[in-house]
Amino acid sequence: MRTPMTTQSLHQTGELTSERPVPASGPVDATPISLTPPDGDDLDPIWRSVVTETRTRGNDIHLPMSLAYAERLCTAHHEANRLLVRVTIALHDTGWGRVDEDRILSEGFSGDWRKAEIRFEHERQGCLIAREVLPPLGYDADFVEAVCAIIDGHDTRQEAYSLEDALVRDADRLWRFDHAGIALASGWFRMDPAVYSDRLEAEIIPELITAAAIEIATAELGRSRALLKTAVIR
Ligand SMILES: [Fe+2]
Ligand SMILES: [Fe+2]
């Protein structure tokens, strides 16, 4: 059992400057994500608490991969609250595990999917799960609320409130640029890998907030396109 955390700094968030993209303050690693899996085992008790919730909507792929990207973004932004970003990205989509699975594909990926009621519902459920899982593991109330403040609206809110919020948002998108992300997410949108890769470049890269995420996404997309031969198989 970890020791309870009570110091102020554990839930403090960094200021998000208005400059876009937000420049990195530390080194950016744009090598394949499989070279830097999630760091250490301190989040293992959290993972064990949400195994059931990872079995929906590819969360058992999306969440650990996004954590690996989030850790890279934290290294590129050493002023960020690394623990807050790591815990939040690990839990952010667990709410999908508690919504009606049939509605995920029918509403969550069609029409105006970003505003679908099921998206708000997965954010609400994700906050409930964070409030269930984190306190027994020793995370204090202020930290849990800081986690929930980012999970709430992570898909449906337009703007990021803090540097940590921005890093979670970017990490949530970056996994799609790896070939595993393309393999999984292209099917959700009923697109082939070539068309989905084009969409990533045209629609998702412009949504990235940090320069580090843009650099990583561009490098991963180039590798994935070459690997999947998307220039020819289209
Ligand atoms: Fe989400
Ligand atoms: Fe996500």
pLDDT in tens, 151-190: 999 999 999 999 999 999 999 999 999 999 999 999 999 9
Residues in the chain: 234
Domain assignment present for 96:
yes
Give yes or no for residue 6 having a pLDDT over 60: no
Per-chain residues with Cβ under 5 A from ion ligand 2: 93, 172
Residue 74 sits in which domain range? 42-228
Euclidean distance between CA atoms 37 and 217, whole angstroms: 17
pLDDT band at 7 (very low <50, low <70, confident <90, very high): very low
Q: How remote is the CA of residue 23 from the centroid of ligand 2, in Å?
A: 23
Domain assignment present for 8:
no
Lowest-pLDDT choice from 7-21, 59-73, 190-204? 7-21
Domain assignment present for 156:
yes
Percent of the chain with pLDDT over 70: 95
Q: How many domains does the chain have?
A: 1
- 220 touches 31 (CB < 8 A): no
Q: What number is the average pLDDT over the span 209-220?
A: 99
What's the one-letter identity of residue 205? I
Domain assignment present for 10:
no
Domain assignment present for 2:
no
Q: How remote is the CA of residue 168 from the centroid of ligand 2, in Å?
A: 9
Residue 52: both structure tokens together: 């059931």
Domain assignment present for 117:
yes
Give residues with Cβ within 8 angstroms of 20, minimum separation 6: 209
Other C-beta atoms within 10 Å of 43: how many? Answer: 19
Beta bridge partners of 210: 22
* Ligand lying nearest the CA atom of residue 173: 2
Q: What number is the average pLDDT over the span 119-128?
A: 96
* Ligand lying nearest the CA atom of residue 125: 1
- For the chain, the average pLDDT equals 94
Beta bridge partners of 22: 210
**What pLDDT score was predicted for residue 8?**
45
Q: How remote is the CA of residue 153 from the centroid of ligand 1, in Å?
A: 9
Q: How remote is the CA of residue 16 from the centroid of ligand 2, in Å?
A: 21
For 103, 158, 198, 216, the CA distances from 151, given in Å and listed in that order, are: 20, 13, 28, 23
**What pLDDT score was predicted for residue 108?**
66
Q: What is the CATH number of the domain that holds 128?
A: 1.10.3210.10
- The model's pTM is 0.95
* Ligand lying nearest the CA atom of residue 63: 2
pLDDT band at 13 (very low <50, low <70, confident <90, very high): very high
Domain assignment present for 178:
yes
Euclidean distance between CA atoms 180 and 159, whole angstroms: 28
Other C-beta atoms within 10 Å of 146: how many? Answer: 23
